[in-house]
Structure 1
Amino acid sequence: MITAVHALLYADDPTAARDFFRDVLGWTHVDAGGGWLIFRSGPSELAIHPADAASGPHHEVSFMWDDLDATVAELRSRGADFEGDVGRQPWGRTVRLVVPGAGSILMYEPTHPSAHSLPERGSTT
């Protein structure tokens, strides 16, 4: 049985990225040895989107927040940077969080129903 989703973030500077997740985002973690931190990322969900011809099949990670404005303000106070301002998409409000040494990650406040709190098995539809 699958018990969780383990996401991977590849970084040119993994130490800076790990420090950011630990110190700025404040995520709890375990040290798997030698400073290799594995972070608790909370509830998760997985969506399947159609691939376009240019990019083909690929994977992406994004972070969901209940109150994007409050989260952006709090993270800015801890030293986080963002690409642009909060914007609107048909599926939610978004902004890109800059992760030192690892590019940026989409943060969003969904306006669609979320699946991360559903029971493990079955469907609600």
Structure 2
Amino acid sequence: MIRGAHVILYSTDAEADRVFLRDLLGLPHVDAGDGWLIMQLPPGEVAVHPAETSGAAELYLVCDDVEAAAAELERRGFPVEGGVSDQGWGRLTAVRMPGGGRLGLYEARHPTAFGP
């Protein structure tokens, strides 16, 4: 029986990004061996969007108030890029990871699948 999902982020500086995520999320993690950290994620959902080609993926951390969450991340030393953009269906911003990847921060304005 399926009991979870495992997200893989590819990075040119995987070790630094693992430490970054550990510190950013502040959630439990395990060492899979030789310092290879695997972090617990908050509850998640998956959506499939139309695209010209298949295979691309993005990771967004969902919050109730993106501006408050961004301010808290900034206070903790995680710079947020480019302010908050309003897309109508949600509000977005992002944090740049040490390896260069973007980690999105998302306030949904539509129903979510997180349950009651």
TM-score by length of 1: 0.84
Partner Cα separation in structure 2 for residue 115 and residue 51 of structure 1:
22
* TM superposition outliers: structure 1 runs of 4+ over 4 Å: none
Q: Determine if contact 2:86/2:92 at 8 Å carries over to the other structure.
A: yes
Q: Residues 28-83 of structure 1: CA distance to partner in whole angstroms, max 9, x if unpaired?
A: 2111111111111011101111112xxx0022222111121121111111111222
**Which one of 52, 68, 71 corresponds to residue 69 of structure 2?**
71
Report the counterpart of residue 57 of structure 1 in structure 2: 54
Structure 1 letter corresponding to 2:5: V
Bigger radius of gyration among the two = 1
**Which amino acid is 1:40 matched to?**
Q
Structure 1: state its 5+ residue gaps: 119-125
Give the secondary structure class of the aligned counterpart of 2:4.
coil
Counterpart-to-counterpart distance in 2, 1:15 and 1:100: 9
Gaps of 5+ in 2: none
- Aligned equivalents of 1:11, 1:98: Cα separation in 2: 12
TM-align CA RMSD = 1.4
Quote how far apart the aligned CAs of 1:117 are: 2.0
- CA gap of 1:24–1:49, structure 2 versus 1, over 3 A, is closer
